[in-house]
Structure 1
Amino acid sequence: MTEAAAAAVYELAQVNIARLKFPLDSPELTDFVDALDPVNAVAEAADGFVWRLQSDSGDATDIAVFGDDWLIINMSVWRDTNALTAFIYQGQHRELLARRREWFERVEEAMATLWWVPAGHRPTVAEAEDRLRHLRAHGATSYAFTLRTSFPAGASAPVLGELPEGLGCGV
């Protein structure tokens, strides 16, 4: 399948979760919480953005993941890895990413993964949890992978990618 044909058939799902250091309504998380709406607006306007998980509150901070009240989830769908990468490592999102250790616990296990979904499919939290468990158990595969070791839609061989220095992001 050509890259263009794969792009018409598949979209890229991403999930990342984080363990909060403080309650969402604490003064320590004010900068993070205040940035949610503006960063989500930038994401929605970004080239290649398709969809993002949100509750009635407009974000996903109140959606349960892994049955842990201290975990928050971000899940979205993008045209491809290039579109997702362009959003992650630019502008206000990059600035917030650089500050993540102020707000979130450092966790050794994988907290982010990517996978291809049929165009138009919107993944569920249960799907995301399954993909993340798979990545933790098996490493990057075509079923669940990272930007550092990604798999083109419909491929079984990885593509090793380079990410911007200093961010240490495992997405």
Structure 2
Amino acid sequence: MLHLALYTFGVLKSPLADPSPLTREFYDTGEAVYRRISQHPGYVARAEAAGGDKGMLFEADWGAWGEFAVPAWYGKGRTVETTALAATLSLWTDLSPAFDAIYTGLHREALNRRYDWFERTGHPSHACWWVSGGVIPTWQDGVSRLEHLHDRGSAPHAFTFHHPFAPDGSATRVR
């Protein structure tokens, strides 16, 4: 059985530790979105750090998901005070449930506000790829796929929901 791996990455306009109302709003929305997505049909798992403190991305223990990594184009801080990014790594049973979770409901509402919170970087914000059942992708896998997608476009190795590929490598559509 195959699973869809999904890596998302965005550069925030201000550090996670910023006490401003906009940063708090992003955090509160994110926590609600995570709760909702984890209950969505087709959701398998996501990378969660032991402890889960705000901004403790680089120092955290991510277990089987590996050491936290970011794309080469991320040029902001890496300390608790300066980290200005949001990243997720998750597993899904298929394209359609993942697409539905991302582009409907509470997450869709958050996507509509993304430019309030995130910088426009000119880089893709997500990458998908297929993994064998039981395989846990690492943060470095996600970064590698996102960078590949940016450099070479959508392909079976790394693709988007808008230009997806089936597990056999053929172009497909999200149903």
Q: Contact 1:62/1:72 (CA < 8 Å) preserved in 2?
A: no
Of residues 96, 102, 106, the one that matches 2:120 is 106
- Report if aligned partners of 2:17, 2:54 keep a CA contact under 8 Å in 1: no
Aligned partner of 1:17: which letter? Answer: F
Q: TM-score, normalised by structure 2?
A: 0.80
Aligned to 1:66: 71
Give 1:56's aligned amino acid.
A
RMSD: 2.0
SS state of the match for residue 50, structure 1? strand
Structure 2's unaligned 5+ residue stretches are 59-69, 78-83
Question: Which residue does the alignment assign to 1:6?
Answer: none
Residue of structure 2 aligned with 1:47, choices 22, 38, 41: 41
* Alpha-carbon distance in 2 for matches of 1:149, 1:61: 32
- How many residue pairs get aligned? The number is 153
Quick check: 1:60–1:73 contact (8 Å CA) kept in 2? no
Q: 2:153 aligns with which of 123, 139, 155?
A: 139
1:59/1:87 CA distance change after superposition, 3 Å: farther
Q: TM-score, structure 1 length as denominator?
A: 0.81
Which is bigger in relative contact order (C-alpha 8 A, separation at least 6)? 2
SS in 1 for 2:15: coil
Distance in 1 of aligned mates of 2:43 and 2:87: 17
**Deviation for aligned residue 1:30:** 1.2
Partner residue in 1 for 2:91: 77
1:2-41 superposed matches below 5 A: 9-26=1-18, 27=20, 28-41=22-35
Post-superposition shift, 1:160? 4.3
Q: 1: distance between equivalents of 2:53 and 2:166?
A: 29
Instruction: Give the drift of 1:115.
Output: 0.2
Structure 1 portions without partners, runs of 5+: 1-8, 163-171
- Partners of 2:54 and 2:170 lie apart in 1 by 33
CA positional deviation for 1:25: 2.8
Superposed displacement of residue 109, structure 1: 1.7
Q: Counterparts of 2:55 and 2:93 in 1: how far apart (Å)?
A: 24
**The one of 84, 105, 110 aligned to 1:96:** 110
Mapped to 1, the partners of 2:44 and 2:26 lie a distance apart of 23
Q: Give the structure 1 partner of residue 101 of structure 2.
A: 87
